Each structure stands twice: as C-alpha cells, then as structure tokens.
Amino acid sequence: MSSFQEWLTTHVPPEITADSLWHMEVYRIALFIGDIAWSDVSKLTQDPRMLKLSDQLYAAAGSISANIAEGYSKASKKDQARFYEYSLGSAREARDWYFKSRHVLENEVALHRMRLLVSVIRTLLKLIPEFRAKKIASKIAEEIAPYETYSLESLLDNVPFSEM
C-alpha cells in the first residue's frame, strides 16, 4: 500500500464505507492513520527499547477514529463534542509518540505521520466548537496555534514506510 486511495479501494470493506460515519473526512483520515500505524509499530517492536512506546503509539493512533466513531453516534451535541475532544487528545498523543519514534522509524516516516496527525488535529479543533454551545466553546482551553499546513492530498498520495 502506497497511498490513501489504494488503501480505500483495497483494504476498507463496505461494512465500514457504507456507514454514514464514513462521510466524515476526519474519520477516514483517522482510520487510515490507525491502520498504517500497524506497519510502524511492527518496525518499532523490533527494537526492545521501543516496546512500551509502540504499545502507547498503537493505542493512541487507534483511539482517534474509535472516539470519532463513538462521538458520532451520540445523541447530544455535548456528548459528541466530548468524544471529539478525546480524539483530539489521542491525535496529539500519537503525534508525540511518533516524534519519539523517529530514532527507529525513518525520519521521513515519522515526519509524514506527524503531518497527517496535524491535519486531524486542525480539523478537530474546528469541529469541536461547532458541537459546543457558544457559552461552553469559549471555555475550551485552546490557544490559537500556528499549525503549519501540508497538502493533505500529497500526504495521502505519498505514504512512506520504514524498511523492515
């Protein structure tokens, strides 16, 4: 697998894509991150020093899409926002673990994953206030951060993997 499009057409079954949740781009990207993290974790576990890190990374990467899915299914906007906030925390955690994994993963791979996670973080930061009442939204402890943007299309078309 070398691109998001290839992953979509060959790895994601209709049981996933037929669900209305699939229309959320942030969910699709998060699910992709969780899936490609498997390859990264497989590489990391070859180094005994990275065993705990790889567990944490895989849990964080997998919980991004899982929390989006759970939040999407909640009846109240407040509950939806809460799970999207959990996703935001998991995305930031995964980005942190990818930064620490750069010593074993190729730098290009770690940087690619961090950039992909930044795109998820940015989307969630825009999405969460939409699900919060204005009164509550102002209480989100989030400073304006200048996240550098990368073309999501290029991040999804050229997906590097570490040599095994």
Domain ranges for the chain, please list them.
21-155
Q: For residues 73-88, give the mean pLDDT.
A: 96
pLDDT value at residue 160: 83
Mean residue pLDDT across the chain: 90
The whole-angstrom separation of Cα 119 and Cα 163 is 25
Q: Are 90 and 64 in contact (CB under 8 A)?
A: yes
pLDDT value at residue 138: 44
Q: How many other C-beta atoms can be found within 10 angstroms of the C-beta atom of residue 89?
A: 15
Looking at CATH, the fold of the domain delimited by 21-155 is given as de novo design (two linked rop proteins) (1.20.1440)
pLDDT value at residue 61: 99
Q: For residues 29-52, give the mean pLDDT.
A: 97
Q: Which two tokens stand for residue 59?
A: 């849990």
Q: For residues 136-162, give the mean pLDDT.
A: 68
> Residue 92 pLDDT more than 50?
yes
Q: What is the 3-state secondary structure (H, E, C) of 124-137?
A: HHHHHHHCCCHHHH
